[in-house]
Structure 1
């Protein structure tokens, strides 16, 4: 893929290439490809290789491992948005055969002991967020290095015990869980999972170089000896029913397009609102992660430099991959390597984002006044108080509202306008809560009700219907 040289400044491109070169050399990987997208467009891509003059470009395929899971999650959310399933549905509602394996009957039960209920009782949301408690891997042999024909049936990916933790209690990454989700997609669509993926996701988004099996030009996978500069070719197996956990091959160019989709959505694939839902944490991160990582619905979350990056990492024998998106900077980075271990691809991807953000920070859109403003909405703006705590209410585009606490105390949030004259919270504590305007008989806005929290124009305004009432003595000194 040709990247216009004027897209990034020469100093920025030099810093990106330097980071990529250090990653390839220090990681002792046969080759390394990096790419950066900004504003949904590929603006830089380069590669480093052990072979002089033969560095791979953004159109060379690498195996992307668990980045495949982001594609599966999008397929499942499409089915949800169509009404074909609910995330709270038990798996057995759509895959009846999953009722045969068992999970602990109670939260205190040891996995696989005593009376149990079926794996089919696990919910689709739990599988998407890795909170189902399913084992991390299918029973042996090592599925990533052996043919999928060794696991011809879906049941072959569930060991005994199938579940290692009580469902819904903690994050526990599970490759078999996404094999089940792929089978779910296949059963509801009546076609193999890979065919559905091509028809409903890859083709509409123009991801022509993302495939189930390698298509030339593609990299070969290698293991590099830890104590000597020698390599061992890794097997490139078709993983069969485990394919939804990590089968896909792709390129830096295609994954940059995929990152743009994950950030913005596409009407014919999945909406931006649903993708935003997928980025919300589905469970608390594990303590060992020092509360810096989490997981949404098929998307890995990484807290860094005061913001949350999202995407996914991937690994298969012979390959490592990372895709990260920074919504604050409107940037995405992709890093692909053909080594089983060595290069820190996620750290390199994060550094590529940081380099561009520091060298060429995002230029904000120019301020523009609203095209039109409703006088009733303008009358809502200004100072409101929750008890004694002051807040400012701002009118934004599309009739949206933003509540901003003053003085460092209180809860702020953005609110989306609804057709019925209410607003829905989009952030933090008020996410999903309803804001209603309470008016006096003459139509004057007297208070805001946000999920029973009452905001008044004056602190504890005696003219408003404040829960608990206001002391008739008013504000006093003691």
Structure 2
């Protein structure tokens, strides 16, 4: 992929370079490469030092570790969208006899299935996958450490199980399915299960001396769906665009939006940290932004993919060291630098091509009790309802074609809104999940549950 260095301002490019230079120097990484994505394409690529004689660029492979999980989650969502599985299905329905069959597919995707974080000894990241040929070798004698669905507990075996699910339903190896259904359609030809030249070597940097030790590169075998992949900043930039916009050849925009929504019951520490987990994606509030993506690590490598959908900016950062630079912070900083230095230019306002008169008459101010709300038509023929000022329950609604609307987000997600009319056709009130919204606070002309005091509004005395 050829990236344009001229699409960002010189000051922005220098700030990006400075940030990765500080990360590489202070983190003592043998090499660090990064890319920034905006407006659906890579607009900047940066690199520090060299990779075994090959200057690192967007074509050099690094191992991406747990970013692999996001690819596996895409395959599972494809199965769901085709109707082959349901996210509410217990694992036992499709893979009987694992000992973890009570967990649902959605819970496994969100790391809330109760499974252990790691497989039994020996240390799976540093030993051949041939030592764990069967799922039983990955899950161990006690797969479940926590009650199913009760807490978020990151689990590598959980994604191994999801990879096995893909293989069972598709009747083919996980990597073959991934290549056919995701990598090839998205043009990710430098993403693979085994390293392809040019690729970085993995290194351990001594914590107390500026010396290095080469790390082993193991084939993870059964554990591959949890962390096997190698990729490049160029390919992951394309993948970031997909995770932002969707691609109907792989997953719709609605399905990738579902991946980005919180799906796990988080621990108190995670909530305090502003962290959550969706369906194969990490979610974090940082610098006032909602960021989604995933980090990854394996011996010798660190990786991070960070996306701000609202800013339409994403960052990829890869390094070939076991520990050192905190790439999640670097990725978030790269996004922030671009978003603040060159904020997204909004699309020009244009009027609607048409507006249904029966919808137009619903616009304006409504009251839920004494709380003032505003109802507006949206460009996609839906409506939005939000507090007239300040915080509170708000949602966009999708038109159902029968005079009703379904909530798309927040408290009202999935709830039905409808306009209740009087015998003469005039609107009496809005019914939203049984709540009554009236044109005036406790409108006497509307059937407010509990009734309205006939003496009306009054002062004290």
Q: TM-score range by the shorter chain?
A: over 0.9
Rounded Cα–Cα distance in structure 2 between residues aligned with 1:128 and 1:405:
34
Q: Match of 1:116? A: none
SS at match of 1:122: coil
Conserved 8 A contact 1:389-1:410: no
Structure 2, unpaired ranges of 5+? none
TM-score scaled to structure 1, two decimals? 0.94
Q: Match of 2:18? A: 18
Conserved 8 A contact 1:17-1:46: yes
Rounded Cα–Cα distance in structure 1 between residues aligned with 2:170 and 2:72:
13
Q: Match of 1:47? A: 47
Q: Per the alignment, do residues 75 and 403 of structure 1 end up closer, same or farther by CA in structure 2, a change over 3 Å counting?
A: same
1:401-420 equivalence runs, <5 A:
401-408=383-390, 410-420=392-402
The one of 160, 173, 182 equivalent to 1:179 is 160
Say if 2:243 is the partner of 1:243.
no
Say if 2:334 is the partner of 1:368.
no
For residue 291 of structure 1, report the CA deviation from its aligned partner. Answer: 3.7
Conserved 8 A contact 1:389-1:409: no
For residue 52 of structure 1, report the CA deviation from its aligned partner. Answer: 11
Conserved 8 A contact 2:52-2:201: no
For residue 320 of structure 1, report the CA deviation from its aligned partner. Answer: 0.3
Rounded Cα–Cα distance in structure 1 between residues aligned with 2:54 and 2:178:
32
For residue 369 of structure 1, report the CA deviation from its aligned partner. Answer: 0.7
Q: Match of 2:178? A: 197
Deviations 1:231-274 (A, max 9, x none): 11111111100000000000001101101101111111111111
Deviations 1:377-402 (A, max 9, x none): 11111111111111111111121111
For residue 406 of structure 1, report the CA deviation from its aligned partner. Answer: 2.1
Structure 1, unpaired ranges of 5+? 102-118
1:20-419 equivalence runs, <5 A:
20-49=20-49, 55-98=55-98, 101=99, 119-289=100-270, 290-408=272-390, 410-419=392-401
For residue 329 of structure 1, report the CA deviation from its aligned partner. Answer: 0.6
Q: Per the alignment, do residues 54 and 22 of structure 1 end up closer, same or farther by CA in structure 2, a change over 3 Å counting?
A: farther
Conserved 8 A contact 1:31-1:55: no
SS at match of 1:402: strand
Rounded Cα–Cα distance in structure 2 between residues aligned with 1:66 and 1:370:
44
Rounded Cα–Cα distance in structure 2 between residues aligned with 1:263 and 1:368:
24
For residue 54 of structure 1, report the CA deviation from its aligned partner. Answer: 5.1
For residue 419 of structure 1, report the CA deviation from its aligned partner. Answer: 2.5
Deviations 1:307-330 (A, max 9, x none): 320010000010000001101110
- Work out the number of aligned pairs and report it: 459
Report the more deviating stretch, 247-256 or 397-406: 397-406
Q: Per the alignment, do residues 39 and 409 of structure 1 end up closer, same or farther by CA in structure 2, a change over 3 Å counting?
A: closer
